[in-house]
Amino acid sequence: MATPSDLENGPKESESTAPAPTLSTGSDLPLPVPPPQHHHSPGDWRKPLFRRKGQHETFAGMTPEEAQAKHERRLKKGAPPKHARFNPIKATKITIRSTSTLSSWSNILFPAIPAGIAMWYTSRDTHPLAVFILNFIAMVPSGNLLAFASAELQAKLPRTIGAALEIFTGAVVELIVCLILLIDKQYDVVRAALLGSMLANLLLVTGACFLVGGIAYREQAIAEYVTEVSGAALLVSAVGVILPSQFYQAIYPRADIGEHDASLRVVDVSRIVSIGLLIAYFCFLFFQLKTHSTTFDHVLEQAEKADADGHKERYRRKLSLLEAIFLTLVGLTLVSFCAYFMVQEIPYIVETRHISDPFMGLILVPLIEKAAEHLTALDEAWDNQMDLALSHCLGATIQTALLVSPIVVIVGWAKGLDMDLNFEYFMAFSLLLSVLVVGNFIRDGKTNWLEGSFLLMVYFVVAVAAYYYPNPEGHGAKVDSVEGTSHGASSGEESHGSETTSAIVEAATTVVAEHVKRLIMG
């Protein structure tokens, strides 16, 4: 019979080749006795940098009978509740604990939500900076509430409906912020926010995941499926988003085409391209959920098996169907209010605090648009689920490029607003380089902390450049027609058609061509 010390320390080295026994619990989820302790050489990349708390430590010092009883009690508590249960106190406790440590910590910021709303209605004219800061912070816990409740709801729905809900909740916060900015006619901030979201996911969050996962596990493997499909989708996303701005760069200097005609043409191109991007996104979803769903499910299963804290999910208490629906609606309402109040103060921050539109849209706004998803990705990287972490990081980038961006353009089209994909060249070039860098890092199927630190360094360089980037000419004008559209892509001959810009475009084209050639040649 196993002793408490056996439960804590596992079998002796001489017994390491025997399969690990399990304790019968009368359920489909047996409680494993601790696996054998494998010994790695000092240079073995599989050896963690420090000891991590595992399931065997949860039952350390217990007899098998005591461990089995504790296991069954926790399974009972973690069993799905009745759909009709509605207990606000239990639901609040479950929500505060969340699904990960980082998400739980973010709930400390929850008081910023009522504070930000109260400041808007009482002091928005006298303390606009405080209103912006409080609602900026409040976007994190409100988005986390929406993500947690919708994930609980998704688990209780059929697969197709659950997948649709996941897509909606993954994009809804970013979509709400961008549409509010669009209706407020802050076109420069909208464009910067769209590209900034992609850069944050590609560089900041992916780099942080590589760094955190590399610290915990030295090196982590990535499934070939993730690298191939994500890499291809990222290249298509970058081409689709960047091409309209390059189209404008090419036709604007021509003598037979004036600025007004060029602006009209780029709006038309952006609208048609947006329809194509939406079609590409639905093809991407159909590939994952239908034609190649078995491959995708296999990757998810392998990632779940690698989860160092997988047992905690079985023990975690769940929301009921009614509680999940209610909290999803509450989270959506809070996100909408906080986003609206924050966006209304952006012009004040830009004009009085000397923060440029590029920095506001490229760096600040994306930090809170998908904060909940960022925290989830970091937790997955820490738990040795790098495939899931990358699916959040790269998937969010693809979603922004192929879903959110075209929806914003099409909504602007429907409302008679001349929103286009004519991005600042600095932003477009930053996105292109980021896609190439990340694609090269994941191509070998392994990640480590050094690659993560490099990605964070690249993001820091982009952030510094964005901070010193000037506002476009004619900043502050809010117009309805192309004639008055004043963003950086049409701010004068000094920034368009210059020899320097042409040289950079040619260099970028060469880099992309070489990269595509390497991909084709294998």
* 40/43 Cα distance (integer angstroms): 8
pLDDT tens sequence across 91-103:
788 888 776 777 7
Q: In percent, how much of the chain has pLDDT > 90?
A: 26
What values do phi and psi take at 428, rounded to 5? -60, -40
Q: What's the rounded Cα separation, in Å, for the pair 388 and 414?
A: 36
Residue appearing with tokens 């998937």: 395
pLDDT in tens, 53-87: 444 445 556 777 666 666 566 655 555 666 667 77
Which position has the token pair 């964005």?
466
Q: Is residue 147 within 8 Å of residue 373, measured between CB atoms?
A: yes
Q: Are 202 and 179 in contact (CB under 8 A)?
A: no
Closest by CA position to 335, among listed 193, 175, 506: 175
Q: Which of 127, 165, 198, 195 is nearest to 487 (CA)?
A: 195
Going by C-alpha positions, the residue among 361, 332, 373, 389 that lies closest to residue 170 is 373
Mean local confidence (pLDDT), 329-356: 90
pLDDT band for 376, please (50, 70, 90 cuts). confident
| Tokens 């602006």 -> residue | 263
Alpha carbon distance 116, 516 (integer Å) = 48
Q: Looking at residues 281-302, what average pLDDT do you find?
A: 81
Percent of the chain residues topping a pLDDT of 70? 71
Q: Predicted confidence band at 5 (pLDDT cuts at 50, 70, 90)? A: very low
Q: Give the pLDDT confidence of 296-312 residue by residue, as tens digits.
A: 777 777 766 666 565 56
Would you say residue 240 has pLDDT above 70? Answer: yes
Going by the DSSP 8-state scheme, the letter that residue 201 receives in this structure is I
CA-based diameter of the chain, in Å? 89
Helix (H) or strand (E) holding 23, with range, is strand 22-23
Least confident of 114-128, 290-304, 329-343, 396-410: 290-304
Calculate the average pLDDT of the chain: 77
pLDDT, residue 78, reads 54
Token code pair at residue 13: 């080295």
Name the nearest CA neighbour of 364 among 105, 183, 204, 136. 136
pLDDT band, very low/low/confident/very high, at 495 (cuts 50, 70, 90): very low
pLDDT of residue 502 exceeding 50? no
The reported pTM is 0.74
Residue 492 φ then ψ, to 5°: 130, 165
Q: How many CB atoms lie within 10 A of CB 511?
A: 13
Encode burial over 199-222: b for 16+ CB neighbours within 10 A, e otherwise.
Answer: bbbbbbbbbbbbbbbbbbbbbbbb
Structure tokens at 359: 């920095």
Report residue 361's pLDDT band, with 50, 70 and 90 as the boundaries.
Answer: confident
Domain positions in the chain are: 88-521
Please, are residues 191 and 425 in contact by the beta-carbon 8 Å criterion?
Answer: no
From first CA to last CA, the distance across the chain in angstroms is 55
Q: List, for residues 465-488, the tens digit of each pLDDT value.
A: 999 988 766 454 443 333 343 344
Pseudo-torsion of CA 313, 314, 318, 321, nearest 10°?
A: 110
* Alpha carbon distances (Å) from 403 to 231, 241, 339: 17, 11, 20
**147 is written with which tokens?**
């993500």
**What's the chain's length in residues?**
522
Give the per-residue pLDDT at 373.
Answer: 84
Q: Pick the closest to residue 166 from 366, 391, 450, 343 (CA basis).
A: 391
